[in-house]
Amino acid sequence: MDSTIRSRMKSLGVDVSDILLPKKEIDYGRWAVVACDQFTSQKDYWQSVELMTADHPSTYDLIFPECYLEDDDRQERIAHIEQSMKDYMDAGIFDTYRECTILVERSTSSGTRYGLMLALDLEKYSYAPDSRSLVRATEGTILSRIPPRKEIRRNAMLELPHIMVLISDMKRLVIEPLVARRAELRCIYDTELMKGGGHVRGYLVDRDEDLERMVEGLEALYRSLDHSNPLMYAMGDGNHSLATARSLYEDLKKEIGTEAALEHPSRYALVEIENIFDPALCFEAIHRVFFNTPVRLFDETLGKICDSVMVETVPSLDEMRRRIDDADGSIAFGVIAEGRHMVYHVTSHRFALGASVIQSCIDTLTAAGGTSVDYIHGADVTQRIANEGENIGIIMSDISKATFFDDIIRDGAFPRKTFSIGHAEEKRYYMEARRIR
């Protein structure tokens, strides 16, 4: 590709790369499995995947489902991953697509969304809560989650990305022009995804004229940023995987020196870039349940955290959700307890988000003992659990795409488990691979 285009791309924190995909005779429906951090409480899901992929080349052999992280056979699994990568490379199952990106078209129950496979520069990424880097985390990074993931990646020959990174491209200048021209691009994979994952196609983007259009879109996006706080790439899914890659890259600098590390493949991580304004990219709030917690105790704790608390009782879950989503910038969340639906309106000089207020309650009550908390997808499920025993369901407001980037710039990363992009089956499936050593 043209060296000037590539230089401009790198100045924007991304690069093309050599991407590996299985040869056409491989069964892509068995090759691609869902992100390893899904179905973490459902080993039966992963056991069925293991049966479906037995005796077939599959990314299942190359990843570590996180539901098994605490099991006693971790070292054996890591050794199997490393050996499988070597075996697959030695067997020549991959085709290599040089210096390219891939336009990904994914159809799920939420619609058809699009993304671009690009290598993201870890030099421009920070997961610090007060980061002002070009690439940054959107939710709190739990440092204790990084070491076990480093073990898995440290000696891996390949990386297989499930990381989704967002750009705020309201004018649709980066991805959508390629979408409009996809009939002129070469389709290099086209398959149904297992276990309700929908359908995915990949289009090769390696011609200078297409890459030039993409770079022009990224440059326009960059020019629109506040360069005192230039958030261009915000984590959607897989932040702990990207944080792991960054941590290992920092280790590499110590081993071989910064100058050599800057030229090493591990400086970059392959991700899928998606436009937050893609209508098929669905954001869902993640709700909370406090177990064995009297409402009185919750209210007392909340009163110590907030400057003021106002509570109104509403007739239904639907009315509760309508009111908290129409709160017009104030901090509001729903509480289901003792058979009642309530909307809490609070003010706080310490917090700007309802999720931050609730996280402070969680920290206080769990530290005191007696309270445990779970993070729940789905308001109906939260309501059902809240009506069992002395539990409290917390219904969080939806995340606004229009203010998402501004909220991160103003307040820093959201508390952990604030939002999810789509259902578990809609998360990224492993497809592409990239050699990192």
pLDDT band at 411; cut points 50, 70, 90: confident
Q: What is the mean pLDDT of residues 366-385?
A: 90
Is the per-residue pLDDT at 209 higher than 80?
A: yes
Angstrom distance (rounded) from CA 15 to CA 98: 12
6-15, 56-65, 396-405: segment of lowest average pLDDT: 396-405
- Centre a 10 Å sphere on the Cβ of residue 302 and count the other Cβ atoms it contains: 20
Is the per-residue pLDDT at 305 higher than 90?
A: yes
Most confidently predicted of 39-53, 395-409, 412-426: 39-53
pLDDT band at 329; cut points 50, 70, 90: low
The reported pLDDT for the residue numbered 416 is 81
The reported pLDDT for the residue numbered 1 is 83
Is the per-residue pLDDT at 224 higher than 90?
A: yes
DSSP states of 216-284 = HHHHHHHHTS-TTS---EEEEE-HHHHHHHHHHHHHHHHHH-HHHHTTSGGGEEEEEEEETT-TT--EE
Domains of the chain: 3-278 (no CATH), 283-421 (3.30.1760.10)
Q: What is the pLDDT of residues 38-94, one digit of tens each?
A: 988 789 999 999 999 999 999 999 999 999 998 999 999 999 999 999 999 999 999
The reported pLDDT for the residue numbered 410 is 83
Q: What is the mean pLDDT of residues 244-272?
A: 97
Q: What is the mean pLDDT of residues 375-383?
A: 89
The rounded mean pLDDT for the chain is 94
Angstrom distance (rounded) from CA 297 to CA 289: 14
Q: What is the mean pLDDT of residues 250-272?
A: 97
Q: What is the pLDDT of residues 108-162, one digit of tens each?
A: 999 999 999 999 999 999 998 889 999 999 988 888 889 999 999 999 999 999 9
The reported pLDDT for the residue numbered 166 is 98
Is the per-residue pLDDT at 381 higher than 80?
A: yes
SS3 assignment, position 171: coil
210-219, 348-357, 359-368: segment of lowest average pLDDT: 348-357
- Centre a 10 Å sphere on the Cβ of residue 305 and count the other Cβ atoms it contains: 18
Q: What is the mean pLDDT of residues 371-381?
A: 89
Angstrom distance (rounded) from CA 66 to CA 84: 18
| Residues facing residue 335 across a β-bridge | 342, 394
pLDDT band at 352; cut points 50, 70, 90: confident
143-147, 178-182, 245-249, 331-335: segment of lowest average pLDDT: 143-147
The reported pLDDT for the residue numbered 424 is 85
Contact by Cβ (8 Å): 112, 106: yes
- Centre a 10 Å sphere on the Cβ of residue 201 and count the other Cβ atoms it contains: 19
Is the per-residue pLDDT at 210 higher than 90?
A: yes
pLDDT band at 427; cut points 50, 70, 90: very high
Would you call 350 exposed, middle or buried from its count of C-beta atoms within 10 A (0-12, 13-18, 19+)?
exposed
Is the per-residue pLDDT at 169 higher than 70?
A: yes
pLDDT band at 297; cut points 50, 70, 90: very high
Q: What is the mean pLDDT of residues 298-318?
A: 96
Both tokens assigned to 44: 């039966």
- What is the residue type of 350? R
The reported pLDDT for the residue numbered 417 is 83
